[in-house]
Structure 1
Amino acid sequence: MKAITYSIAMAGILASLASCKDDNMAMPSDMPYTFKVENVQQVQPFVQTGTFKGEGTPPVIKPGQSVSFTFSAGKGQALSFATMYGWSNDLFFAPANPGIALYDQSGNPMEGDVSSQIRLWDNGSKINQMPGAANPHNSADQNGVVTEVNGADAQGFTYLPASKLLNASLKYNQNATFTLTLKNISGGTANETPVSPGVWVISNYLGGNLLNKAPLYASGQPTANGLQPLSEKGDNSVLATYLNAHTQVATGLSPVVVIVYNGNTRPIFTQGAADPGNGLADIAQEGNQTALVASLQKAAGVKHVYVLSPSDKPVTPGSSAQAQIEAAPGDKLAFVTMFGSSNNWFYAFDDMGILVNASGDLTGNVKLWNDGTEVDEYPGAGNHQPQFNPGSKNPASKPVMEVDKSLYPSLPAIKDVIKVTFTK
């Protein structure tokens, strides 16, 4: 009897232990979370800017001398610049707004003489005097507006067309970069003059539009933002400071893909390896998430795939996208969204993702990655980027790596573009 009782007791204990073991090994249940991506960028009007000057002291561009500068631009963008007609009170050269056209209607880059697009302008801040080396520069101030000088100024002094005084020649250097050469050809004319140090600028292009179509001046409006020191004294520093303060790459974000997964896997990409061919290139190049979503839904270890709502539109500056997702402690979390003003860049966590038990503001875990499948052009100013030419390709074959931000002076910090939160 004791042996039977003992056996029954042991069986009960073993059954109890087995039950406890099963309970301990049960997978944690999924819980609801909200994954939210916000485009927090405070958009600036300009994507690139710079200065130019002559080589002497003072650094003016004398008759017969020239100066060159290189910049990037995509179809729809234009180059504007400003430089003083030195032997005047407040005249300056600049292209007609929005600037020199850089591509034809078919998207082919322009080259050659573009001098016909330059104009001579009266800044409206000084009464004009006889232009030339003897100009005393001592006239009275006036509160006028910027006006084009067509043959003669308001005081009746005459001028040749700007294209007869300043020559502009455009050269295309590949990968959406150009070089503009300005040559002072005023020597021996009735309007011989040195040309001052100047500034140049490219406006941001977002949503199919230039963000500033009158970057340096507006005809019929008062001078502003440092143009007056340039047009009166040839001092480009004030205007350059203004332009630099308002220059930053502007970008939208593509529809956002989020996955919940487990295991020691890298379901979206592997740092240092080539694009995996799972649809990542489609979202990194064009912002199209369809192929990546279909691939991830079949990937080993992936529990859930989400496209944040609204899923059919980019996340533009000032907007957001979010979704309620299901995940359990111990799961991993990953996301991807295109840096829209690029050839093939995307925001994501590290290739292994992050654990679900990390919640709250996850922006500090976000990195900007280069997919390596297209040749890079300057962000926000590249003609193979989708905002300029959707579907155009400029193939490359490089490993997925973090973007080298030091190469792009106007590239915004990650925290200044994207905010990622994950909350219960």
Structure 2
Amino acid sequence: MNYLKKMNHWAAIALLPLTLAACKKNNDNTPVASNQQSTITVENVLNSKPLVESGTFQGTGSPALILPGQSVSIQFSAAKGEAITFASMYGWSNDLFFAPANPGILVYDTDGKPIEGDVSSQVKLWDNGTRINQKPGAAVNHPGVADTKSITEVKGSDAQGNTYLPASSLVKATLKYNGNSVFTLTLQNTSAGTANETPLSPGVWAVSYIVGGTLQNAAPLFTSGQPTANGLTNIAEAGDNTALSTYAKSITGIFTPLSPILVVVYNGIDNPIYKTGENDRAQGLKLIAQQGNADTLAAYLKGKPGIKAVYVLPAPNTKVLLPVIGAQQGGIVSQQITVAKGDRLAIATMYGFSNDWFFASTDNGVDATMKGDISTSIKLFDDGTAIDQFPGAGITQFNLAGTPLQESKPINAVPNPNAFTTLPDIQNIIKVTLK
């Protein structure tokens, strides 16, 4: 996938390991320590999802229609290049619905500045293609006569010759920027008194991840020119958003690469990468946590007392360890290491689509001579050096073409659930084994 090669902010150079000394002996010729070969393997095992966020909206009455003169608001986060889309039934029709053209309403301009104000011109009227259209109005007979056409935009009139005002005359859409990559989209029913007066149904909204400049799902709710799918018919014909919401939720979740892996073998010292409760030591961890660049910390640690070996492991071709995307396996790296009794091992890697989150070995790492799956020794931490935003939807996230907003707080574990989302178990994101 070519777009994966565009992620050019990541560190790309793997440092060579330090040469380990041979096993020493006492005067009586008995070994002091026996070196052994081991292989560390790190995998991104995250079953990624294409949507950052999705949700529903509805009116306040019963039924929960959005009547002429009423409005609803949707709050969401987005990064540059991401868009908000939605679908809501033209209530007094057989199977028409309001939605933006794909990929939705972009919320930043080309300079990365938030777009605010009236974006009604981007709202369109669509024919779901599953019913013959009657003259729109309160007298429409639901559900009507079945049809088997693809989704098409209604531009002034439908296939049966019924006429319609532009969608922007019936639904007013307004964007407001709340700060820190958070927006509010307000949809107001402005059809009162027009020839196309209608209630709006409860609806569904969604925001897709952008990866390397490409949206992971540029058409999450429908595709013009294709048959309707995934529960959209329930909205278009009956105003029921349950099925489409269930589908959207099933493809909403976490997407993140892991940066090139920092691996450190050490002896007689504490974990040299970090310590919770302390501020970043300004030795290079900040660059891992914010940019995924492990080279600076690796160079700093190399040759320090107690440090036996330092490695930086980039994935082949992509440098970063991508998650599982559909049938494509997640990224994987391996490194042979030489260790002895008493050695400890610790790793660190960036949660790629964050401001300054990183995965790392807890406490004082693990016994470097152990074998098996050591994933339970890994946790997710906040480096405390950048203001957090919704992971994968932040305008200042480095790997989404942003510049982190600086702060200074102690390093601490990222709570789960956190202020933005609920993450899978760490072992379902990163797998680390020693063999």
- Taking structure 2 as the reference length, the TM-score comes to 0.90
Structure 2: tracts of 5 or more residues without a match = 1-24, 324-329
Question: Is contact 2:51–2:208 with CA below 8 Å preserved after alignment?
Answer: yes
- How far apart, CA to CA, are the structure 2 residues paired with 1:365 and 1:22? 39
- How far apart, CA to CA, are the structure 1 residues paired with 2:188 and 2:143? 28
Query: Could you tell me which residue of structure 1 aligns to residue 77 of structure 2?
Result: 72
- How far apart, CA to CA, are the structure 1 residues paired with 2:135 and 2:28? 98
Going by fraction, where is helix more abundant, 1 or 2?
1
- How far apart, CA to CA, are the structure 2 residues paired with 1:307 and 1:23? 36
**Candidates 312, 316, 320, aligned match of 2:322:** 316
- How far apart, CA to CA, are the structure 1 residues paired with 2:252 and 2:400? 19
- How far apart, CA to CA, are the structure 2 residues paired with 1:329 and 1:207? 43
1:399 aligns to 2:410 (yes or no): yes
Shift of 1:20: 7.1
- Note closer, same or farther for the CA distance 1:112–1:322 as it changes in structure 2 (3 Å cut): same
- How far apart, CA to CA, are the structure 1 residues paired with 2:183 and 2:314? 39
Post-superposition Cα deviations, 1:98-135, rounded to whole Å, max 9, x if no partner, equal 00011100111111111111100000111111111111
- How far apart, CA to CA, are the structure 2 residues paired with 1:282 and 1:20? 43
Query: Could you tell me which residue of structure 2 aligns to residue 270 of structure 1?
Result: 275
Question: Is contact 2:117–2:174 with CA below 8 Å preserved after alignment?
Answer: yes
- How far apart, CA to CA, are the structure 1 residues paired with 2:37 and 2:365? 19
Query: Could you tell me which residue of structure 1 aligns to residue 124 of structure 2?
Result: 119
- How far apart, CA to CA, are the structure 2 residues paired with 1:252 and 1:310? 11
**Candidates 74, 91, 99, aligned match of 2:96:** 91
Question: Is contact 1:168–1:183 with CA below 8 Å preserved after alignment?
Answer: yes
Shift of 1:301: 1.1
Shift of 1:23: 5.6
Percentage of identical aligned residues: 52
Shift of 1:40: 1.5
1:140 aligns to 2:145 (yes or no): yes
SS for the counterpart of 1:326 is strand
What is the CA RMSD across the aligned residues, in angstroms? 1.6
SS for the counterpart of 1:69 is strand
Question: Is contact 2:132–2:146 with CA below 8 Å preserved after alignment?
Answer: yes
Shift of 1:138: 4.1
- How far apart, CA to CA, are the structure 2 residues paired with 1:294 and 1:83? 55
**Candidates 284, 288, 307, aligned match of 2:289:** 284
Shift of 1:409: 3.1
- How far apart, CA to CA, are the structure 1 residues paired with 2:179 and 2:422? 21
Post-superposition Cα deviations, 1:194-252, rounded to whole Å, max 9, x if no partner, equal 10111110112223210111111100100001100011111001111111111112111
- Note closer, same or farther for the CA distance 1:177–1:302 as it changes in structure 2 (3 Å cut): same
Q: What code does the residue aligned with 1:396 have?
A: E
- How far apart, CA to CA, are the structure 2 residues paired with 1:152 and 1:322? 61
1:31 aligns to 2:31 (yes or no): no
Question: Is contact 2:92–2:140 with CA below 8 Å preserved after alignment?
Answer: yes
- How far apart, CA to CA, are the structure 1 residues paired with 2:163 and 2:91? 15
Worse overlay, 219-228 or 353-362:
353-362
Question: Is contact 2:259–2:314 with CA below 8 Å preserved after alignment?
Answer: no
Question: Is contact 1:113–1:169 with CA below 8 Å preserved after alignment?
Answer: yes
Question: Is contact 1:48–1:410 with CA below 8 Å preserved after alignment?
Answer: no
Question: Is contact 2:36–2:340 with CA below 8 Å preserved after alignment?
Answer: yes
- How far apart, CA to CA, are the structure 1 residues paired with 2:135 and 2:56? 28
- How far apart, CA to CA, are the structure 2 residues paired with 1:175 and 1:296? 35
Give 1 or 2 for the bigger CA radius of gyration: 1
**Candidates 373, 382, 387, aligned match of 2:385:** 373
- How far apart, CA to CA, are the structure 2 residues paired with 1:260 and 1:333? 5
Matches within 5 A, 1:19-418: 27-310=32-315, 313-317=319-323, 318-390=330-402, 392-407=403-418, 408-418=420-430
- Note closer, same or farther for the CA distance 1:351–1:298 as it changes in structure 2 (3 Å cut): farther
SS for the counterpart of 1:358 is coil
Question: Is contact 1:208–1:387 with CA below 8 Å preserved after alignment?
Answer: no
Question: Is contact 1:268–1:351 with CA below 8 Å preserved after alignment?
Answer: no
Post-superposition Cα deviations, 1:68-89, rounded to whole Å, max 9, x if no partner, equal 1210000011110111111111
- How far apart, CA to CA, are the structure 1 residues paired with 2:310 and 2:28? 29
Aligned residue-pair number? 403
Shift of 1:357: 3.3
Shift of 1:41: 2.1
Question: Is contact 2:283–2:297 with CA below 8 Å preserved after alignment?
Answer: yes
Shift of 1:162: 0.6
SS for the counterpart of 1:195 is coil
Post-superposition Cα deviations, 1:148-176, rounded to whole Å, max 9, x if no partner, equal 00000111111111110000100111111
Query: Could you tell me which residue of structure 2 aligns to residue 15 of structure 1?
Result: none
- How far apart, CA to CA, are the structure 1 residues paired with 2:288 and 2:346? 15
1:422 aligns to 2:431 (yes or no): no
- How far apart, CA to CA, are the structure 2 residues paired with 1:179 and 1:299? 50
- How far apart, CA to CA, are the structure 1 residues paired with 2:409 and 2:242? 40
Shift of 1:380: 0.9
Post-superposition Cα deviations, 1:6-65, rounded to whole Å, max 9, x if no partner, equal xxxxxxxxxxxxx978666x5413322111111122222211111111000001001111
Question: Is contact 1:379–1:411 with CA below 8 Å preserved after alignment?
Answer: no
Query: Could you tell me which residue of structure 2 aligns to residue 14 of structure 1?
Result: none
